[in-house]
Structures are given as C-alpha cells and as structure tokens.
Structure 1
C-alpha cells in the first residue's frame, strides 16, 4: 500500500516537475490518473524550493533580485509547465473564434502575440506582488514560507478541481493530460483538497483572516472554468495550467488586500 502511494506520488512529481525520480518509476496512465491527489502537494515542494532560494539569495542581494531568482527557480523546477499552458490559452482564446480553432491554436507549439503579451504581464505582475509581500517588514520568515507554499498548493487545487467538475474538451487521446481527465475517486478529491488547503489552514491559525483568500481564488476558478466551458465545452491541460497561474496571482493579490485589515 505504501509502495503504491509512493509510486503514485513520484508519478505526479515526474509529470509536473523536472525533479529527478527513482528509476523504478515509469509512465503509467493509471498512476497518472490517481496522481491528481498529489498535485497540490507538488505545490508544497515548488513553494518550498522557491522560498529557500529567495531566502538564501536575499542574504547577499536586494529583495528584487532575490524575487526574480526565486521566480526563475519555480520555472526551472516545473519546466514552465503551467506558464506554457497560460501562454497557449492566451493565444487560443485570443485568436480563435470557434472551438476547433481555439484547440488547434493551443496545440500549436509556436507562441503568438497574445501569448507573449500575456506572459510579460503575468511575470511583471507576479514579480511586483512577490516583491511587495517580501518587503513587508512585519512578516516573519516562517510566515513567508507558509505563504509561498500556500500560493502554490491552493492555486494547484483550484486548477485540478476543474477536473472534478467539468469535461475534458479534446476528443483525441494524444494529449499528455488525457489520463488525468479519465476518472477519479474520493481519494483523489479528498487528497487534493487536503494538500491544497492545509498550508492555508496553518496560516489561519495565526491570522484567521487569511482564509478569506479562498473566496477570490475560487471565484476566478469558477469564472475561468465557465469561460472555458462556454467556448470549448470543457477544459484542456493548457486551461488547467492557466488556472494555476491566475490562481497564484489572485492569491498574492488577496493576501496584500487582507493585510490592510489585519
């Protein structure tokens, strides 16, 4: 039982990051489907690494440089998996007017003007928000660590929860995300919500107001899922990546807004 869960976890780690995994972990559609329960847990790892790099670099360099290197770390660890999805969604929904055209554009490996503009604005906004949070003199390192982890875990929960409520839009089985969309059980749902909400609940033990960040994150999740469903009749892997990136941004915005009342 434990070995199977480890295999499922490492399958998630292998699929969603560039972190080396044991040689006995191979690609399995069945395990990939079950790995949705650990997708928010991957956020713990990415958030921890981003914070560790930020904290270490900040001992030598200013906060703005530390934030940029921290962002580079997140992109390197995930292989720009979610950022690529965000760019594809910007291109697809920005340039396509029919379901098939949108899906074809998102499948194209080339990045268009909408994708480039979207990524520039995304990175600029993320950098500004993280810098604002990092320069808050009242925040303890442990709290900042929890915020980093919560941002990555909650945004991944918002993304993967779309799998539980909406249909996969592509008819082809060629997509890498297709096995994730096939089926799920209560284990996947409960695991995703546990790992997605645990860091936020930890923060709420000290500042209960932080729980209010759930509201805007899931409002945007609802609006994005509804928008995807309207235009393409469901979601794709790119849509999940875009939702994760938007959810992360919305979380940072929410935290800054909530601080005004703490």
Structure 2
C-alpha cells in the first residue's frame, strides 16, 4: 500500500476522527500501519491539549483536565480504556485461561473492570491536575504518544492468545523489527519536540520496561495478548507517563 493510505488507515483504525476515504486492504497488510500509531497518538494528544487550553481560563483546573481527558476518549471511541476494563474483568476472575478470554470478550462490564476503570481515570486526572502549567501540554501529548508506542512493543514481543482472531490478531506477532524501529522513530521525532533528549530517554526506558513486564505477565496468564490487553498496556503506559511527568514537575524524578 502507498504510505499515505497506510497513514490514513492508522487514523481510521485507532481513532473516531471522520476520514471518509475507502481503503481496500488485505487482512495480512494491517500490521503495516502500526509504525504510525505514535504519530496518531501525538495528534490525539495535541487535540486534547487544545481542549485544555480552550477551557482552562473558564473552569477550574481539575475540570479543564477532565474535559481534556474526555476529549481523548471521545477521539478514540474509548477503545483502549474499554480493553483495560475487560482485561481486569478477565485476569482477576479467578478462572482458567479459556474462561478469562470469554469474559474479556463479553460486552458486559464486571466489578473488577469498573473499579480498575474508575481508579485509572481518577489517578490520571489527579496527576494531571497537579502538574505545573509549563508541563501540562507536553504531558497530554506524551501520554498517548508513548501509549501507542507501547502497543507496538507489546504486539511485537507477544503472540495472539486467540490464534489471530479479533482486531488484536491483525497485528499481534506480525510486526517486523523494521516496523518497530519506525514506530520508535516517529515516537522520537514527536517526543523531542516537547522534552529534552535525556528526559525522553528516561520516559521511554521506564514506560517500555513496564509495558514489556505487563505484556509478559498477561501472556503468562492467558497464553498471549488480545486487542483488549493491548488497550490495557496503552492505558497503563499513559498513567506511567502522567506519573513521571508529575514527579518531574516537583523535581523528584527525571531532572
């Protein structure tokens, strides 16, 4: 596929931004779009930053941050946080592997998923609300940027728990080293615009180690990864970035 079509496909796949262009793609070619995931994340984060800027002088900071977060989830159709909740429902169900996978596929939300979702959103909002003004915009961009790179990393180092079924099966275990490196390149290009080189490397190292560890833990539990668990890795990574940027803002880390 032409690269412009691959880029458009990545936006159509990862967001709800209306791009009414029909692209014919073979199922086996879907993985080619993953290298653009960080770029898509950066765009989504930039829109969330604009939302924060537009309302920060009208509403209290906590509400402005909440509205920025709402815009993030609207832009993505809440696909990642939905996977995060489903993952917690499955992993903490005290069932066997096959039953856990069934629970993740169930559209109904259980207690574990609800609690995990609530705590996740609260923590994100609290950390963002206490980050200094000069870092809030870059944080809102870096969160989805690193989150999407973590999806590439998780899909690269794992196999499909469902034998290639579902949306996750389109990319899990099918990403080449070149596509991983290109994803890293896009992450770096955007990241260097908002933080210093050494800070970027520290953010990348910590978030990648955590994303890799979570991926291996989930794979141990259910025999691989799914689209839901990729979403969970993304959400964990976003929370990690928010935490690290908060610590940086109070000069406790990264400085």
| TM-score w.r.t. length of structure 2 | 0.91
Number of residues of Structure 1 aligned to a counterpart in Structure 2: 252
Deviations 1:43-78 (A, max 9, x none): 011101100001001132221111111111111110
The list of structure 1 runs, each at least 4 consecutive aligned residues, that deviate by more than 4 angstroms after superposition, is none
**Of 150, 155, 161, the match for 1:163:** 155
**Of 202, 209, 233, the match for 2:223:** 233
Offset at 1:236? 0.7
1:203 aligned partner: 194
**3-state DSSP class of the match of 1:44?**
helix
Alignment of 1:150-189 (within 5 A): 150-171=142-163, 173=165, 175-181=166-172, 183-189=174-180
Offset at 1:95? 0.5
Q: Tell me if structure 2 keeps the 8 A contact 1:151–1:251.
A: yes
Q: Measured at CA, do residues 29 and 182 of structure 1 come closer, stay the same or move farther in structure 2, by a change above 3 Å?
A: farther
| TM-score w.r.t. length of structure 1 | 0.89
CA RMSD in angstroms comes to 1.9
Deviations 1:157-184 (A, max 9, x none): 11221111111111263x1222222523
1:81 lines up with 2:73 in the alignment:
no
Q: Measured at CA, do residues 88 and 201 of structure 1 come closer, stay the same or move farther in structure 2, by a change above 3 Å?
A: same
* Structure-2 separation of matches of 1:182 and 1:247: 20
**3-state DSSP class of the match of 2:171?**
helix
Q: Measured at CA, do residues 116 and 166 of structure 1 come closer, stay the same or move farther in structure 2, by a change above 3 Å?
A: same
Q: Measured at CA, do residues 253 and 162 of structure 1 come closer, stay the same or move farther in structure 2, by a change above 3 Å?
A: same
* Structure-2 separation of matches of 1:101 and 1:221: 24
Deviations 1:75-129 (A, max 9, x none): 1110000000000001000104311011010011100000011111011101101
